Amino acid sequence: MATVEKLAVHGGPATVKARDHASWPDITDDDRAEVLAVLDRGILCGAESPAITGLEGDWADYLGVEHCIAMSSGTAALHTAIVSVGIRPGDEVIVPAYTYISTAAAVAHHGAVPVFCDIDERTFNIDPARIEERITDRTAAIMPVHVHGLPADMEAIRAIADRHGLAVIEDAAQSHGATYKGRKTGSLGECAGFSLNATKNLSAGEGGLFVTDDPKLFDIARRFSNRGEDVPNLRPGEFRIDSYVSHGLGWNYRSQELPAALARSQLRRLDYYTENAQRNGAILDEGLSALTGVTPPYVPPDRTSVYYKYRVSIDADALGFDGPAAELRDRLIRALRAEGVEALLWQVEPLPAYPAFRRKLYGPWYPNQDDEPLLDWDPAQYPVTVRVLDSSFIIGSEQRPIIIQDGALMRDYLAAFEKVLRNLDALLELPFEPLRFD
């Protein structure tokens, strides 16, 4: 007698076991030794910090750029990038409507205005065809984000920037090692910022990396991120009377030895992890392409993705669902999660929908700001972003991303997709409850 297949969300057996997952970041004995060596040396921060200067040199070499400054976060590196290219309060910077808050916050932190631009349906990156309509006489820069670890269309963006005399700042927070026409992200604009947050493909716990080829930008960035002071090249025991002169109002965005040592040690294995992420991406691509109603993320042939996030799109029509796309998305996520797949939401609205950008006086934090009425925002300005976010979701969580999993688990994920899609009718009979960041 044929057995009736029961979805895990209906109480059936899960396809994937939680214990089959590996956790990120992957900490090895080499990492432990490097961190302990910092404690043994006793130098924790400052100008003569071997792990920090080592990481800066290694990262600049890895990208093929002249200068790198290790910082306290990716947000700090992006804020520094905004300042280093000469953006002034009131200037406008074009950023994608789909990204992480820090891209636009880095602009607003300097009193400049983030101007949101819609994205490309297939790459999820800023759509170069929509940039020029956003340019005004106050526009000073374009800030593409290599979202999910896939490079933005940098040649098209550079052509627009050159036509209008704009700087290009890369938000490379998610794209360590990704390439565009053979060149690594972070080496494609005037300057760039990377994140070393624990979820990232290269991680230090928290941290960031500012990079540039331009010595002028490097000097500004170094002072700005060091409370306006020049970093003296002091040797142990040496003292310089002018070392505390501040040449302008800066921030303390400096890195520290412990996270720098960890990141430097992890960097030695970055390419190995990237290859694993790409192998897993290829397994998911092939399996999902064979299914009706789901589409893997698109990687144009002139780029490589490092799959910081793996976004799957759903076609409600092809699946015969005529309700709201977000409902089908949430139902599928719930069912896949019950099967043991790390399926989740990341960003559910375009950035201009966030309260942070809907206050009359956004910028400095002020008490009771939650009491202020929020200004309207216009979803019609960002139709692709809205549509994409309603009809797609992420595979791989921050603690269990695909970069550290094995191929067998990816095949189990595909089996779970097949099972859920085979039983879609039964799934749609469940009462619907929208997901809320669970």
**Residue ranges in contact with ligand PLP by CB under 6 A:** 73-75, 78, 99-100, 102-103, 145, 171, 173-174, 195, 197, 208
Q: Hey, what are 173's tokens?
A: 């927070």
- Shortest separation between residue 206's beta carbon and ligand PLP, angstroms: 6
Burial profile 135-156: b = 16 or more Cβ within 10 angstroms, e = fewer = beeebbbbbbbbbbbbbbbbee
- Shortest separation between residue 417's beta carbon and ligand PLP, angstroms: 26
Q: Where in 288-389 does DSSP place strands (E)? A: 294-295, 310-314, 343-344
- Shortest separation between residue 197's beta carbon and ligand PLP, angstroms: 4
Kindly tell me which of 15 and 195 has the beta carbon lying closer to ligand PLP.
195
Kindly tell me which of 297 and 340 has the beta carbon lying closer to ligand PLP.
297
Kindly tell me which of 99 and 201 has the beta carbon lying closer to ligand PLP.
99
Kindly tell me which of 53 and 199 has the beta carbon lying closer to ligand PLP.
199
- Shortest separation between residue 297's beta carbon and ligand PLP, angstroms: 16
Q: Hey, what are 2's tokens?
A: 């044929």
- Shortest separation between residue 281's beta carbon and ligand PLP, angstroms: 18
- Alpha-carbon span 226 to 35, nearest angstrom: 24
CA pseudo-torsion sign 414, 416, 420, 423: positive
Q: Hey, what are 168's tokens?
A: 């290009």
Residue 143 near residue 103, CB atoms below 8 Å? yes
- To 5 degrees, how large is the angle CA 387–CA 393–CA 281? 120
- Shortest separation between residue 14's beta carbon and ligand PLP, angstroms: 30
CA pseudo-torsion sign 169, 174, 179, 181: negative
Residue nearest to ligand PLP (CB): 74
Kindly tell me which of 100 and 321 has the beta carbon lying closer to ligand PLP.
100
Place of tokens 């526009």: 139
What is Dmax (Cα atoms) for the chain?
A: 88
- Shortest separation between residue 200's beta carbon and ligand PLP, angstroms: 7
Kindly tell me which of 15 and 75 has the beta carbon lying closer to ligand PLP.
75
- Shortest separation between residue 309's beta carbon and ligand PLP, angstroms: 9
Kindly tell me which of 126 and 294 has the beta carbon lying closer to ligand PLP.
126
Residues forming beta bridges with residue 79, ordered by sequence position: none
Within 8 A by CB and 6+ apart from 119, the residues are: 96, 97, 98, 125, 126, 127, 382, 384, 385, 388
Kindly tell me which of 109 and 337 has the beta carbon lying closer to ligand PLP.
109
Q: Which long-range contacts (CB under 8 A, 24 or more apart) does 1-8 make?
A: 5/419, 5/422, 5/423, 7/335, 7/338, 7/339, 7/419, 7/420, 7/423, 7/426, 7/427, 8/335, 8/338, 8/339, 8/340
- Shortest separation between residue 177's beta carbon and ligand PLP, angstroms: 15
Kindly tell me which of 72 and 304 has the beta carbon lying closer to ligand PLP.
72
Q: Hey, what are 134's tokens?
A: 């956003």
Q: Where in 296-370 does DSSP place strands (E)? A: 310-314, 343-344
